[in-house]
Structure 1
Amino acid sequence: MNQENFTQTAQRLNSLFKETATSTSIDHLLENPHIQSWIETGLEIHTNNTTCEFCGHSISTERLKALNEHFSESFKIFKTRLNSATQWIQSNTISNPPRISIADLYEEFATDIPKLEDEVEDAITSLNQCLQEWQIVLGKKIDNPFDTQLVIETPSSSIFETLNSSATAINKKITAHNDKAENFNNEIASAKTALELHFLSEEIRDSDFKKIEDSSKSLLTPIAELGKEIQTLNSEINELEKQLNNESIGAENFNDALHRFLGRDSISLRFDTTQKGYKILRIPENLPARNLSEGEKNAIGLIYFLTKLSENERDIKNSIVVFDDPVSSFDSNNLFNAHSFLRDRCQDAKQLFLLTHSFNYFKLARDWLGGKNKKTDAAHLPIIKSRFYSIDASLAAPRVASLKNAPSSLTNFNSEYHFLYSTLRQHLETQTLSMEVSFSVANMSRKLLEAFLTFKFPHGRGDFRSLMDQAITEPAKCDRIYRFINKYSHNQVIEFDDSAADNIAAESEYIVRDIFEEIKKLDATHYAGMEKALAAQTA
């Protein structure tokens, strides 16, 4: 028990007793603490009521003001500190520990235990009495916070000396008892082992064990030599099989790349010489790898393709390589791994095509390949080694895709949000959207608004309609924008009636302008910043 804690607490309490709350006091309440406590409780009851619940008469404004000034905010805070001190005293009151059963101890350790336990209990009783006296004085201070003459005594050091020395003596006796009990069990175990060895030696002597052992040892030498010969032959067979099967060599190269890509060696490709095919195994169990994750499947596919690029002495410098969405399903960790592997293997390709739907991967590829355009020729003209395009597909039948130079919003900005904002802004003054444009505008509008509104209203995250209702205060406009976005970004039903064109004409009229007006209304600073950023890129 730490005496210093109680000494410091006594000092803090005495300092607290000398304090008082700042208020405009009422003498009658100061002279009558019990009435003061009663009125304090009543004042809380009458917080929003000017009629006295006791007598039924009206409480005057002057009286309420005087009482509130008496029980000021600092008065309440001071009372809270006093109540916290009460809780500390209650929580530090000590209960007597359970008595030790003397019958459970060895006799030499049982002596003096009752006497030591009595000393511990007496010390605890003295300490609790001191705490009880503190509690009484603290109660007086709570009843009359303006009394600054109250004082408490610090517990005697003899209490802690007796408590700590007696408790330590008891613990030493218990430890000595436990050590003896543990060593006793060890002695029993040693005796049992000696008996076992004795009976075993007699059995060995009676059964001619030595002769049998010598005979067995004489056979071990030729067995060991045969084992070494078998091991040597197996190694030669394995080497010959590896030389005869390029598949094994390919599997080793594949596994090395796959393990570095995934950052672990839990999956491996192994060539089955019997079935003449590959098996995907879980390591170290060497069991067929079932239920591969999408990330593992895509990793295997990508590494297989990259490994095949270097087979049959293919020269990458004379190869045209095409990747279609190499990171469509990877997590962020494998996104960088895929980019690193692809860049390492295809850096020197004669021509490289990268197709992706992932803006994050596009940024990595753009920064890598765009850096190749920084070199200049002898005339200080840029040497163009990489170009960036976008593919626009129409929804009209027959469906047609067109290849266009990538807009500056893709090549200059580092976020998908900038790209969506810039693309939608092109339709700012479009009065009516066509059928095919409506679908793309609806999808981009939903992404843009979800990103913007989730930032503005974080507590509505996950519910797009709720975000719209919070942001757009005009119900009609809110409903029109939401229905347009919801219809053309989630439409899974083909409509065969003749009203589709009319619906689009009515539903899409200046829809993009309305969206941008709401963004500007909600955050003019953000809107101005985006306009400035776009203007700088097009300058």
Structure 2
Amino acid sequence: MIEVEANKSVKNVAENALAGVRLLTDSVFFGVNGAGKSTVCEVLNQAATLRHDRLDAEGPLHVFAFDDKWRKDKVGDFVEGGSAEGVTTVKLNDGASGLEEKIREAQSEWEAARSDVKAKTLLKQSATDRQKAIVNNVAEGVRKTLEKECPSLSGQRFQRPAIRALLEEGDSTVLSQSKVEEKLVIAASQAPGFLPQLPSPPREWSFTDHLWQEVTAEPSASQTMVLIINDWVREGIEVHEAGDSCQFCAGTVTTERMEALKSAVRQAEEEASSLIKSELAECKSVSLTLRKFKDALEATDLSSSIYGADLQPKKTEALLEIGPVLDGLKASEDLLEERAKNPRLPIHGAKPEINFSKLLGKYSSLKESHSKATEEIAQHSQNQALAVNQLKRHCCATDGSGWSSAAVALEEAERETVAAIRAEKSAKDNLDDLKRQVSTTADTAEFLDNSLGLVLGEKTLRVSEGSLGEGYRITRHDQRADGMSEGEKKLVSLLYFCAEFLAENRKQLLKYSVIIFDDLGSELDEPRLLAVDRFISNHFQNPKPAALLYFTHSHTYLKILQSRLGGRAVETKRKDQVVPPKAVFYEVYKDSFSGRKQSTLCRKWDDEAIKLTNDYWLSFYMVLRAFEDLQAGALPTLGTGNFCRKVLEGFTEFRAPGDEQFGSRIDKILSEKRLSLSPALSKIVNGLSHSDLNKSGGVFSRNEVEHSVVQTLNLMRLVDEEHFLALLIKFRGKQDANSIEKALQQRTGI
């Protein structure tokens, strides 16, 4: 038995997700398209640590995988009618007997070089472990004491990669106790807070001498008379109404007369200076802007930072200067408005004074202090970061002694490992050169040609030895085999993969080898699959590998493997002795509903399911198990939709064989039986079984799978309860069958 001890993270397979998976003499991994079979195959081939319970000192466990990568690397040209490299055998050419001893010597040198690589690798690992121990010393040393006063030194924020980076820089210094305390105060101080921006002051406005001259200009005698008359008319308008008697209006005052007088008054008032009008508007605008500035400045909180203690007093000083300016603006506004209203009214008194310069001086002082405080806030962050960095280096310097010597040792070990690897490669190249002198492709070509005929049952497709350096040549009717089908390409590739184990070195490794076949069921029809499976089982009989692994999504190939290996997948008793199983079946599935980013997992099949080679029975068994898992609160798998479709295909074909459309058969049965089941059942099941499963899990998707499981079983129960119960009793016995039926009724309410 072989067990996966650990595995690296690859694509959708999380780190150690396959730990504990046991590989027996024969192991089958089944999963629907998109479940992650090829990724699991890649993990077992390249990224997993395997433990053989019978492994001795002769060598490590070897893994050989027949997958897309191997086909591309090894036989990409060959299966297109080109050539492939030769397989080395032990057949000696004439006159080459003296090379046999050289090969044995070269083999010994290569094995010694491999041992040296292993020894140097161990030394390198030892030096690496020493560095890890030093990093751990820093993490568990004075840092743990200092983190109580400085959260930036906590294990979550000062992690081991950061410790290692500082140790590699090598310029850390041990601080005195007083310095440590000083840095802790800086590092642990609260954030200084941020200051809001200051509002922008309005533009300046003043009552100019030119404007005052315009305002105080004396009206002429005629203008004075007009002014008197204008006031007299305005007073009359305010007293009289239309219909009153007036000696100046020829008797009765009319509405038309009143409007004419008002128009005359307005015309007289509009004779005010354009300068006065424009300056009045400007004065009002500046006054409004200044009031808004005052409100904004009053609302600005300048006490939110520990810096800038003088900001609030300076703000108050600036606010105090706004009042007099507003008063001056108000006086100017009133004066100008009165002058605009009564253009000929004489103005007496002093010109209003507006001192903007004092206000702007106070505000400039506030703004300067604000800028300085902002700079101090930024500098505080830098000081804090510097203090934290110095404390980190203090931790490294205190508990990281020995790092320099460990780094030197690791560098030396890496250099020696590289040299050992080069020496091993040179020894291997020398061995390969000698083997090439005694190798032949003739035996392998004959093996490929004969095996191809056995599997295909014909001699149309032939394999022969190519020209010197060409390897092999594949032909059809004595012509280059262009346009080979995908099935033929896969078959020839598989035979070539098997031919590699004719080489003597591969034969010696077989009992310590795991051989993987990825997705053999694709591109091959059932007769060829039977022949291929028979060929593989016979080819690897003597000597037998430590484990043969089959990965497939094909139900056809699954049935073939179940028929051949099903009896060997369960424990048996012979003469009161328990014989452990020699085969194991796994389901590859995606646990997408748990929210994992890497969700591909493997689950061992029930012993009972392995024996079900009938597609309909097997699919029903898997759906039934999914329903029982739902009852227990377990999460479903997306692959369950595939089994739901298989069950419904078999059931509806039996009940309504006249229609080839899957959905139509379900609809026909529902209409005939007058059942009120979800009309979307066929759509949901069809979608789940044809999905590539590369979608993130969620409540909606999980509900779809649960719905398909429950409604699939409910459809069978309502349409043919006798048949449904017979299946339940077959797999679970009469008592459990009744319990399952009751649970189904409770879930559906039907």
Higher helix proportion, which one?
A: 1
TM-score bucket of the superposed structures, by smaller chain: 0.3 to 0.5
Q: Which has the higher contact order (CA 8 A, sep 6+)?
A: 2
What's the TM-score, normalizing by structure 1?
0.48
Whose radius of gyration is greater, 1 or 2?
Answer: 2
